Amino acid sequence: MRQTNQAPRRLAVFFLVLSLILVIGIPVIFALHVLNREPDDPIVDSDAAESTMTESAASESGTAAPEQKAEPASEAPTSHPASEETPSFESSSSEEPSEEPPFEEDSLYSQAMSLLDSMTLEEKVGQMFFIRCPSENAAELAARWQPGGYVLFASDFENKTPQEAAADIQSYQDAVRIPMLIGVDEEGGTVTRISRFSQYRDEPFLSPRDLYAEGGFELIRSDTIEKCALLHSLGINVNLAPVCDVSTSGEDFIYERAFSNDAQETADYVRLVVSVMKEEGMGCTLKHFPGYGNNVDTHTGIAVDNRSLESFYENDFLPFLAGIEAGAGSILVSHNIMTCVDDSMPASLSPAVHELLREDLGFDGVIMTDDLIMDAITEYTDGSSAAVLAVLAGNDLLICSDPTIQLPAVIEAVLDGTIPLEQVEESVLRILMWKLELNLI
């Protein structure tokens, strides 16, 4: 009988069986796996799942997912829930922006605008007057005028105890709807309205020049802090200082009140004093813009300054710029005639000088006049006209000793269109923001 080779046949049968197993078995196994898994389990591999979870947590926390690195299981770091790993990221991604307080300046602006919208024309104009405190019936007159503030002099302190002076000042504040600026010239040296009287201080404050000679800038700092404390204790919130003038000669009117003959040294002094006053919450006033130099006293007559604009930039403006950079809230403009900018008007009444201060020096705070009753003004124009001209020039705050004439004159000028209402409101907005910065409102 002939033998048949069975190997090829067996091989064919093997491959046929294997094919049937692959075709039928794998789908059956897969179906069983699907039927046995949890309904909500995604069909993904573990590496992909870990990557997805990491990316999801990072997305919620606002950070990018870290690159995955293959590591032995024994060296893997201990994992924590995303809420425990990055709580600050999760809270900042959606909730923090709505809870974050607005910028301080925006907040002050909003508060000032809200208050401005509630004011009558008379109240708005009243805010523009920094009135010499009346010797009698000061509280009653404050209630009538609703002024931006009162300026106090030595006579307001001389025959009073500190407690009596503080009580009087509080009565002025109680009489007005919007808290007032209460100002005083407590420079030290020849200009002291309070410390000259022993019931307030054993000795008058020294001049800045003498302070520096005795103890340098450290004594200037401690002296400024002490001044602020004394003024605060009485209810005073503005010291009409520091003096920014640069005097070049001992014969100058401003010499004893000036810090130095050197502009840069004066700038350093002003920067320090303004910074300390801000830290102490005391309003300050840079004076007397554009700088007295060697000019005569404008309390007693008109002063004409013929220096070049270049010389002002190289010297007199340096202390003012330092004070502006340090955050001074106000600048007082003198009655000097600055011929290089305006040869016909005192600086306090000159739109060109105010434009220079705003545009070139970049000051956006409160600009105030020196007293409008000083001879340099009364020889130039009458009181009511001076007030109107001062507003038109760009002053926000008018220091005056005759509000019964000057305040009504400004109201009338607004009503007849001489002074735009918008300009008044811009000035009042600056004044209100300054008061807010000083925490008066």
In a domain, 60, yes or no: no
* Range 198-214 average pLDDT: 97
- Residue 355 CA to residue 3 CA, distance in Å, equals 123
Residue 5 confidence (pLDDT) above 70: no
Q: Which of 48-57, 111-120, 352-361 has the lowest mean pLDDT?
A: 48-57
Better-scored residue on pLDDT, 393 or 253:
393
- CA count, 13 A, side-chain hemisphere, 420: 7
Cα dihedral value 342, 344, 345, 351, nearest 10: -40
* Range 28-50 average pLDDT: 45
Res 381: pLDDT: 82
In a domain, 131, yes or no: yes
Residue with tokens 């003498």: 210
**How would residue 302 be classed by pLDDT, with cut points 50, 70 and 90?**
confident
Res 286: pLDDT: 98
Residue with tokens 């060109």: 352
Q: Which of 9-13, 124-128, 163-167 has the lowest mean pLDDT?
A: 9-13
Res 22: pLDDT: 61
Check the CA dihedral 298-237-408-389 and report its sign. Answer: positive
In a domain, 427, yes or no: yes
Residue 76 confidence (pLDDT) above 80: no
Distance of CA 203 to the CA centre of its chain: 34
Distances (CA, A) of 362 to 202, 287, 313, 356: 41, 16, 14, 8
- Residue 298 CA to residue 285 CA, distance in Å, equals 18
CA nearest neighbour of 312 among 321, 303, 299: 321
Residue-wise pLDDT tens digits, 321-347: 999 999 999 999 999 999 999 999 999
CA nearest neighbour of 282 among 206, 362, 336, 228: 228
Percentage of the chain lying above the pLDDT 70 cut: 75
Res 94: pLDDT: 35
Res 7: pLDDT: 52
**How would residue 95 be classed by pLDDT, with cut points 50, 70 and 90?**
very low
Question: Are 400 and 387 in contact, with CB atoms under 8 Å apart?
Answer: yes
**How would residue 6 be classed by pLDDT, with cut points 50, 70 and 90?**
low
CATH number, position 280: 3.20.20.300
* Range 76-100 average pLDDT: 36
CA nearest neighbour of 440 among 115, 193, 123, 152: 115
Res 32: pLDDT: 54
Residue 303 confidence (pLDDT) above 60: yes
Q: Which of 37-51, 176-190, 318-332 has the lowest mean pLDDT?
A: 37-51
* Range 199-213 average pLDDT: 97
In a domain, 100, yes or no: no
In a domain, 190, yes or no: yes
Give the three-class secondary structure for 49: helix
- Residue 291 CA to residue 309 CA, distance in Å, equals 12
In a domain, 9, yes or no: no
- Where do the DSSP E strands lie in 259-326? 283-289, 304-305
- Phi/psi at 86 (nearest 5 deg)? -135, 65
Res 86: pLDDT: 32
* Range 80-85 average pLDDT: 36
Residue with tokens 């009135």: 131
**How would residue 241 be classed by pLDDT, with cut points 50, 70 and 90?**
very high
**Residues in a beta bridge with 129:** 398
Better-scored residue on pLDDT, 288 or 373:
288
Q: Which of 54-58, 82-86, 270-274 has the lowest mean pLDDT?
A: 82-86
Q: What total of structural domains would you count in the chain?
A: 1
- Residue 177 CA to residue 10 CA, distance in Å, equals 112
Task: Classify residue 194 by its DSSP letter.
Answer: S
Residue-wise pLDDT tens digits, 186-204: 999 999 999 999 999 999 9
CA nearest neighbour of 316 among 341, 284, 279, 349: 341
Res 293: pLDDT: 79
Res 61: pLDDT: 38
What phi-psi label fits residue 39: left (phi over 0), alpha (psi between -120 and 50 degrees) or beta?
A: alpha
Res 400: pLDDT: 94
Res 12: pLDDT: 57
- What residues act catalytically? 299, 370
Res 298: pLDDT: 57
CA nearest neighbour of 336 among 286, 297, 394: 297
Cα dihedral value 349, 353, 358, 361, nearest 10: -140
Say how many C-beta atoms besides its own lie within 10 A of residue 35's C-beta: 7
- Residue 353 CA to residue 346 CA, distance in Å, equals 9
Structural domain including 230 reads: 126-437
**How would residue 165 be classed by pLDDT, with cut points 50, 70 and 90?**
very high
Residue 116 confidence (pLDDT) above 80: yes
Residue-wise pLDDT tens digits, 334-390: 999 999 999 999 999 999 999 999 999 999 999 999 999 887 787 778 778 999 999
Res 192: pLDDT: 98
- Residue 286 CA to residue 361 CA, distance in Å, equals 13
**Residues in a beta bridge with 338:** 305
Residue with tokens 């997805």: 52
In a domain, 333, yes or no: yes
Model confidence, pTM? 0.76
In a domain, 209, yes or no: yes
Better-scored residue on pLDDT, 104 or 138:
138
